[in-house]
A and B are shown apart, each in its own frame.
Chain A
Amino acid sequence: MNFWNDPINFVSVWLRSLFSGWGMADWLVNVLLAVMGIVVLIICAMVLDIMLVWVERKVVARFQDRFGPNRVGPFGLIQPFADIIKLLIKEDITPVGADRIIFNLAPILAMTAVLLLWAILPLGSVIYGVDLNVGVLYIIATGAIGTLSIIMAGWASNNKFALIGAFRTVAQMVSYEIPMLVAMLIPTILAGTMSVNGIVHAQNVWFVILSPIGVLIFIISAIAELGRSPFDLNEAESEIVAGFHIEYTGMKFGMFYASELLHTFTFGGFIATLFFGGWRGPYAEIYPLLGVFYFFIKAMFFYWVIMWVKYSMPRIRIDHMLAFNWKFLTPLAFVLLIVTALVDKVLAQTNFHATGMLLANIIVGWVTIEILRIHARGLRKKDEIPAKPSTQAAHHQPLRGEK
C-alpha cells in the first residue's frame, strides 16, 4: 500500500514502527495513535468551523446584495481570526444568582456534542474515525446531549427570557426529532445496516433517487433541529433577545455560535452521506483523498442550501412550527416509511427497484398535495361565508344623497 491508496493506514504503520522502535508498550502505542488521530480530526473540524464563519458572512452579504467583509485581508479572509481574537479578550460576565457550575458547563457540552459527530462521519472510503454499527442512532444521541446543554444554559442564567427561550427551543428541537428519526429509517431500510459507512457503500444508486420525499423531510427537520432560520424564533435578536444564550459573553457565546455553525455543516455532511452518496464519485475508491474532496463539495453545497433557505424565508411562529411538525411532517414521514418498506420488500430483487421506489414517492407526494389542496379549499370556504350577508346588506342601503 502506498500513501495515495490508503493514507491513514500508511501513516499509522510508519508511526507505529517509529514508536515501537523507541521501546513503548503495545497498548500505549495504540492509545497514542488513536489520540493523535482524534486531535487531527478535531483540529480539522475547528479550522473548518473558523472558515465557516467567513463563508456565512460572505454568503449572507451576497444574498442581501452587499459585499460582506472585504477589508481584513484579501477578500476578508482574515476576518474570522479577528473575530476570535475579539471574543477571546472580552470579559466573562456571570450574572448574579446564576448557577456557576451549570452555567460554565453548558457551552462546553454544546461544543462536545457537535465534535462527537465527527467520529463517525466517513470522509473518504478508508478515512473515518470509527465505523460504529449503530451510527444512525448515535447521531440522535449526540443531538440529545446538545438539547441537554440548551436546558442547562437556559436554567442556569437566572433570567426569565433565557428560561422561556430554552423551553421553546427544546420543545421545537425535540418535536422535530421524530420526522428526522423516521427519515433516517429510510436509508437504513434501503441499505440494510445502521452503520453510516455501510449506507454509503450501499449507494450504487444514490438514495435521493430512491426516496426524494425522504430527503425533503430530512432537510426540513434537520434545519428545525439545528435551530436555524426559518425556525430560529427562539434565539433571534428581535424576538426573544437571543433566547437561551442572553447572559453568555465572550468565548462562551463563541462556543454556542461556533457549535451551531459546525452543527449545520455536519448536518450538511450527513445529508450528503445518507442520501447523496457521501464520498462516492469517480475514482473515489482508489484514491481516498479524492473521496474527501467529493464529500466536502457535497457538504458545502448542502450548507449553502441551508443558508439559502435561511436568508430567503421569514420566521415561523412557534405554534405554526409545532403544528407543522405534528400534524403534517410526522404523519407524512410514517406513511412514507410504510410505503418504502412495502415497496422495498415487494420489488427487492427485481429490476424495477429504483423506478418503483421513485414512482411510489411521486404518488405519495401527489396525494399529499391533493389532501393539502382540499384542506386549503375548505379553510378558504370557511373564511368566505360571513362576508356574504354584509355584502348583500350593503346592496340594499340607499346611497347618500339619493332618495
Chain B
Amino acid sequence: MDFMQIIFLLCAALILGSALMVVTTRNMIHAALWLIATLFGVAILYVLLNAGFLAVVQVVIYIGAIAILFIFAVMLTRREMRDQGPQLNKGWWMAVLISLLSFSGLFWLFNNWSGFGRTMVEIPAGSDTLKELGLALVSPNAFVIPFEVASVLLLAALIGAVYVSFRGK
C-alpha cells in the first residue's frame, strides 16, 4: 500500500460519500454543497493522474461557474428552501434492485478488460505538457477542427440558453 494508493482511496471515499449525500440530503442547497465536495474530489483525482491543468480547470469551471449556476437555479425555481421531508418514494426497493443488477453487470464486463492492468505512462522529465496541449489544440493534424467546433458549440449554447431563459425583446 504505497502513498498514492492511500490518497486515491481517501479521494474515492470522498467522492462516493459526497455523491451519496447529494442524492439523500433533504435540503436542496445542502445537496448543491455536497456536489461541490464531489467535484473537488474529482479535481484531486486529476492531480493524482499528473494532469494539473485539468485539476485547476475543474475547480475554475465546475466549482466556480457551474455549481454557482446550480445554486442560482435552485433559488430561482424553489419557493421553499427548507427541508422537503423524506426523499424516498414508494418504489424504492425496485430502484435498489435495478441499480444492484446494473452494477454487477458492469463489474462483470469490466473484469475482463485489459486496461486495468496497465501502469501509468511516465511523462519524460522536462517536457511541458501544457505547451504540448496547446500545440495539439491548433495543429491541423491534431485537434484544430474540434477546437473550432467547440467554439461554435459554445455559441449555440449561449444563444439557446439566452433564448430559453430571457423574456424580453
Interface string of A230-269 (1 = CB under 8 A from B): 0000000000000000000000000000000000000000
Interface string of A176-189 (1 = CB under 8 A from B): 01000000000000
Contact assessment for A148 and B57 in the assembled complex, using a CB-CB cutoff below 8 Å:
no
Is the CB of A333 closer than 8 A to any CB of chain B?
no
Interface string of B32-75 (1 = CB under 8 A from A): 01001000000000000000110011011001110110011001
Distance in Å from the Cβ of A327 to the closest Cβ of chain B? 15
Contact assessment for A134 and B63 in the assembled complex, using a CB-CB cutoff below 8 Å:
no
A interface: dominant SS? helix
Is the CB of A203 closer than 8 A to any CB of chain B?
no
Given contacts A102-B33, A144-B59, A155-B29, contact A134 B130 (CB under 8 A): yes
CA–CA, A67 to B126, complex, Å? 56
Is the CB of B122 closer than 8 A to any CB of chain A?
no
A194 / chain B contacts, CB cutoff of 8 Å: 130
Given contacts A102-B33, A152-B33, contact A140 B64 (CB under 8 A): yes
Chain A: interface residue total (CB-CB under 8 A) = 25
A133 / chain B contacts, CB cutoff of 8 Å: 52-53, 128-130
Which B-chain residue is minimally distant from A137 (CB atoms)?
A: B56
Q: Which of B59, B65, B75, B129 has the most CB of A within 10 A?
A: B59
Contact assessment for A141 and B68 in the assembled complex, using a CB-CB cutoff below 8 Å:
no
Contact assessment for A145 and B65 in the assembled complex, using a CB-CB cutoff below 8 Å:
no
Which A-chain residue is minimally distant from B36 (CB atoms)?
A: A148
Contact assessment for B68 and A147 in the assembled complex, using a CB-CB cutoff below 8 Å:
yes
B60 / chain A contacts, CB cutoff of 8 Å: 137, 140-141, 144
B56 / chain A contacts, CB cutoff of 8 Å: 134, 137-138, 140-141
CA–CA, A248 to B57, complex, Å? 32
Distance in Å from the Cβ of B129 to the closest Cβ of chain A? 8
A132 / chain B contacts, CB cutoff of 8 Å: 52
Chain B: interface residue total (CB-CB under 8 A) = 22
CA–CA, A51 to B72, complex, Å? 37
A167 / chain B contacts, CB cutoff of 8 Å: 72, 75
CA–CA, A140 to B62, complex, Å? 12
CA–CA, A218 to B72, complex, Å? 27
Partner of A170, one of B53, B57, B68, B128: B68
Distance in Å from the Cβ of A105 to the closest Cβ of chain B? 9
CA–CA, A174 to B64, complex, Å? 8
Contact assessment for A137 and B64 in the assembled complex, using a CB-CB cutoff below 8 Å:
no
Contact assessment for A144 and B128 in the assembled complex, using a CB-CB cutoff below 8 Å:
no
Given contacts A134-B56, A141-B60, contact A148 B68 (CB under 8 A): yes
A144 / chain B contacts, CB cutoff of 8 Å: 59-60, 63-65
Distance in Å from the Cβ of B70 to the closest Cβ of chain A? 11
CA–CA, A170 to B52, complex, Å? 26
Q: Which of B3, B56, B128 has the most CB of A within 10 A?
A: B56
A152 / chain B contacts, CB cutoff of 8 Å: 33
Is the CB of A122 closer than 8 A to any CB of chain B?
no
Which B-chain residue is minimally distant from A194 (CB atoms)?
A: B130
Contact assessment for B63 and A145 in the assembled complex, using a CB-CB cutoff below 8 Å:
yes
Distance in Å from the Cβ of A178 to the closest Cβ of chain B? 11
Contact assessment for B68 and A151 in the assembled complex, using a CB-CB cutoff below 8 Å:
yes
Contact assessment for A148 and B63 in the assembled complex, using a CB-CB cutoff below 8 Å:
yes
Contact assessment for A147 and B64 in the assembled complex, using a CB-CB cutoff below 8 Å:
yes
Distance in Å from the Cβ of B67 to the closest Cβ of chain A? 7
A99 / chain B contacts, CB cutoff of 8 Å: 29
Interface string of A159-170 (1 = CB under 8 A from B): 000000001001
Is the CB of A143 closer than 8 A to any CB of chain B?
yes
Distance in Å from the Cβ of B10 to the closest Cβ of chain A? 16
Which A-chain residue is minimally distant from B61 (CB atoms)?
A: A144
A134 / chain B contacts, CB cutoff of 8 Å: 52-53, 56, 130
Given contacts A132-B52, A151-B71, contact A137 B33 (CB under 8 A): no
Which B-chain residue is minimally distant from A195 (CB atoms)?
A: B130
CA–CA, A174 to B67, complex, Å? 12
Contact assessment for A174 and B33 in the assembled complex, using a CB-CB cutoff below 8 Å:
no
Per the 8 Å Cβ criterion, residues 118-151 of A in contact with B are 132-134, 137-138, 140-141, 143-145, 147-148, 151
B68 / chain A contacts, CB cutoff of 8 Å: 147-148, 151, 170, 174
Interface string of A20-40 (1 = CB under 8 A from B): 000000010000000000000
A145 / chain B contacts, CB cutoff of 8 Å: 59, 63
B36 / chain A contacts, CB cutoff of 8 Å: 148
Which B-chain residue is minimally distant from A156 (CB atoms)?
A: B29
Distance in Å from the Cβ of B83 to the closest Cβ of chain A? 11
Partner of B64, one of A102, A143, A192: A143
Which A-chain residue is minimally distant from B52 (CB atoms)?
A: A134
10 A-B pairs with C-beta separation under 8 A? A27-B3, A102-B29, A102-B33, A133-B129, A137-B56, A138-B56, A148-B36, A155-B29, A174-B65, A194-B130
Instruction: State the 8 A-B residue pairs at the shortest beta-carbon distance, nearest first.
Output: A144-B64, A141-B59, A137-B56, A134-B56, A134-B53, A140-B60, A141-B60, A141-B56
Given contacts A147-B64, A170-B68, could you give 18 more A-B pairs where the C-beta distance is less than 8 Å?
A132-B52, A133-B128, A133-B129, A134-B56, A137-B60, A138-B56, A140-B64, A141-B59, A141-B60, A141-B63, A141-B64, A143-B64, A144-B64, A147-B68, A148-B64, A167-B72, A174-B65, A192-B131
